[in-house]
Structure 1
Amino acid sequence: MKTIFFSVLFLGLSVSAFSQGEDLKDINTQIWANFTKAFENLDYQLFSDLHSANLVRVGGDSKSVKGKTAYIKGYENRWKEKKLKQTISFRFLERIAKNGKASERGIYKLTIDPNTEKEKSYYGKFHVIHRKENGVWKILVDYDSSENNSINETSFLKAFAINDFNINNP
């Protein structure tokens, strides 16, 4: 009886881990690859498309809470001249996905004027909540903060790589 119980438990955990891994791969493709592309190409429309119409955007440093329209308008204004050169990358502290919903916490690195003498990187901790809408992952809640400028390159490198899907299953 014990053997059957543990076999069923192991099978259930394996299916759940596989399902989560597939969801995280989809999130990487649908959200993070396009998020990066939008930032690098200053494409506010692509950026907008990643977010739910019901987005709640919280800026910890600015103590602000915005909806999608105001949040995206800020990027439209900032990116309209297309002169800015920037890259963004993500590493993760926790990734959970199940039944069309996901929560991801991590560290981002935003670099302005990459590969120049003026290069400057900024870091922050983020927490996003995603949900599938019409079969596509969307960002529903997005929070970030520099944690009083305590997030840095060391914090970034300590977090897990974007393709490390064993983050929650060491």
Structure 2
Amino acid sequence: MKILTIYISLFLCFGNIVTSQETNHLKAINTDVWSPFTKAFETFDYILFASIHSEDLVRVSGDSKNVKGKTTYIEGYKKRWVNKNSNQTISFRFLERIANDISASERGIYKLTVNPNTANEQSYYGKFHVILRKENGTWKLLVDYDSSESNTINETSYNEAFAIDDFDKY
């Protein structure tokens, strides 16, 4: 019985270490990727937006069925965001977050709102799956896929996913 108690104690101890390490990775990803991603969208800063993506980026849009590299992808934002005179916000909720020391996979739902808090407010939703890689000590988006899944992703889908800082869910 004493040996069983020791095994259970060791399992719980090491399990907590793994959970704590993964939580630290997720917090770092929030700092390195999701916070600047949000700021870039809200300030129309394509340079900041480019900085969170790996040079090896593979960007896939399920809705338009195309695949782009980093240069083409960022150029699209540069053109769209020049002389922008509206406001927008973006936020993320998660279905799954898996991370180790050098790579991570995250799936979730985003909400993009144009002209927030106005009569012209409009929100768009999509499901995303990103693969991240740690490069020179900083997390970067390596693969970025999203889709509205034929406009079936909505406010309900968004609300059912977990908050960005709800680390206990993973």
Query: What TM-score results when the alignment is normalised by the length of structure 1?
Result: 0.96
| Equivalences for residues 22-33 of structure 1 within 5 A | 22-33=24-35
- 1:40-95 alpha-carbon deviations (Å, 9 max, x no partner): 00000000000000001000001011110000000000001132311000000011
Residues 94-105 of structure 1 mapped to structure 2, 5 A cutoff: 94-105=96-107
Alignment correspondent of 2:124: 122
Deviation at 1:107, TM superposition (A): 0.3
Q: How does 1:48-67 map to 2 (within 5 A)?
A: 48-67=50-69
Q: Which runs of 4+ in 1 moved over 3 A?
A: none
Name the amino acid aligned to 2:8.
F
2:5 counterpart residue number: 3
Query: Counterparts in 2 of 1:2-151, with a 5 A limit?
Result: 2-151=4-153
Distance in 2, Cα, partners of 1:119 & 1:103? 31
String of CA shifts for 1:102-148, please: whole Å, max 9, x gaps: 11100000001111111100000000111110000100010000011
State the aligned residue count: 168
Other structure's SS at 2:168 match: coil
Q: Tell me, what secondary structure is at the counterpart of 2:169?
A: coil
Q: Which runs of 5+ in 2 are unaligned?
A: none
TM-score (ref. length: structure 2): 0.96
Shift of 1:6: 2.1
Identical-pair percentage: 61
| Ranges in structure 1 where 5+ consecutive residues have no aligned partner | none
Retained in 1: the 8 A contact 2:25–2:101? no
